[in-house]
Amino acid sequence: MRHLAILGSTGSIGTSTLEVVRAHPERLSIVALAAGRNRDLLQSQCEAFHPRCVSVGSKEAADWLRSNLSYRPELHWGDEGLLACALHPEVNTVVAAIVGSAGLASTEAALRAGRRVCVANKESLVVGGVLMHEAALAGGGELLPVDSEHAALHQLLDGRDSTTIREVRITASGGPFRDWPLARIQTATIAEALNHPTWKMGPKITIDSATLMNKGLEVIEASVLFGLTADQVAVTVHPQSQVHAMVGFHDGSYQLQVCANDMKLPIQYCLLYPDKQPGPVAPYPWDEARAWTFEAPDLERFPCLGLAFRALREGGTAPALLNAANEVAVAAFLQGRLGFWDIQACNQEILDRIPATPLGSLAQVLDADRAARRHAEGWVQTRT
């Protein structure tokens, strides 16, 4: 039986995870739920699943829940609350579905405490890199990727050593601006960037999909998860989002992973691994006529993807610097303080300006994250 803590239960991945839990009551139970600001949705999730441990973003929201819940769970708030949920003694599986590097400490602590951690929060892998593996090794934790491309690679690689394969390819839908000319992309609006053609997701990852930064973060994530060099990870644009990843072997052949573009599938894969059970998603409809297309990404129109490869090659704290700059730039874009094209300019500025240092400890990563945020905020101010 998997006893779950869902960190980020009110988000897109969190709510999909609860649907998977509903489909498997004999295998999955909820012990802890944690969210940020959406206290109303968290309240209704608590009434439906009765978690024994609950955390929310602020003390005020925790007090509000205490007065408005029909039962009395342990109530926590803030970063300490995330840790209380992840480390609750009855929890053996943590779904890390918070957005941004705010999820780093709880992911690391859960791995160090020997939990299975189903990581949707790609930023913690990008920022923390090998430190996440070290935490898992030290504490006996198990790291499983929820991102659809990485869950696909996990299935395709099936424990193979990275030297036995030539490359992996993750697919990208190409986002809403896949076939837009550069000049039009440069002046894209918030509404246009939030209009993703194939995936319904939270706002930050949706903007990252429009810049292809999301794919860049996933390139770094693939390298971290599977011990691959930058030359072993490639991206193919596949607008239909049905093939999620491919593994290329030394003889020139490839294996592909195919499934519907529904995050409940990779979530269920991680939660029930290694079992495959019928779940909330129908089997792939092969008899419906459809065409798949594949093309190379255009780094001139989508420079964030190139910046991610650069950060991966530079190594050390470079991915953390890029991720922090991007979080600041995307938030500023969503607030109307930056234009769409400024996001890549901010990311490039931070990589150019702050030298990367070797990755030593979590504290050092958090220092790099803070320094990059400070500089990026300063850069945003000069543009507004």
Ligand X SMILES: NC(=O)c1ccc[n+]([C@@H]2O[C@H](COP(=O)([O-])OP(=O)(O)OC[C@H]3O[C@@H](n4cnc5c(N)ncnc54)[C@H](OP(=O)(O)O)[C@@H]3O)[C@@H](O)[C@H]2O)c1
Interface region with ligand X, contact rule CB under 6 A, candidates 85-93, 115-123, 248-256, 346-354: 115-123
Please, which residue, 204 or 375, has the CB nearer to ligand X? 204
Cis, bond preceding 181 (omega within 30 deg of 0): no
Question: DSSP letter at 288?
Answer: S
Interface region with ligand X, contact rule CB under 6 A, candidates 92-100, 160-168, 223-231, 236-244: 92-100
193 binds ligand X (CB under 6 A): no
- Using CB under 6 A, pick the residue from 85, 125, 172, 205 that binds ligand X: 205
Please, which residue, 208 or 379, has the CB nearer to ligand X? 208
Cβ neighbours of residue 179 closer than 8 Å, sequence gap 6 or more: none
Interface region with ligand X, contact rule CB under 6 A, candidates 130-138, 197-205, 251-259, 332-340: 197-205
92 binds ligand X (CB under 6 A): no
Measured CA distances, 125 to 44, 144, 151, 218, 235 (Å)? 31, 11, 14, 9, 18
- Using CB under 6 A, pick the residue from 31, 32, 35, 259 that binds ligand X: 35
The residue behind tokens 């498997």 is 24
Closest of 222, 265, 260 to residue 243, by C-alpha = 260
Instruction: Compute the least distance from the CB of residue 299 to ligand X, in Å.
Output: 21
The backbone torsions φ and ψ at residue 188, rounded to the nearest 5 degrees and listed phi first, read -60, 145
- State the pairing for strand pair 116-119/93-96: parallel
**Cα–Cα dist 136/29, whole Å:** 23
- Using CB under 6 A, pick the residue from 85, 87, 98, 233 that binds ligand X: 98
- Using CB under 6 A, pick the residue from 64, 199, 273, 341 that binds ligand X: 199
Binders of ligand X in range 119-148 (CB under 6 A): 120-123, 147
Binders of ligand X in range 262-321 (CB under 6 A): 263
**Cα–Cα dist 45/35, whole Å:** 11
**Cα–Cα dist 81/77, whole Å:** 4
Number of residues that bind ligand X (CB under 6 A): 28
102 binds ligand X (CB under 6 A): yes
Please report, as ranges, the residues that interact with ligand X according to CB under 6 A. 8-14, 34-38, 57, 82, 97-99, 102, 120-123, 147, 199, 201-202, 205, 263
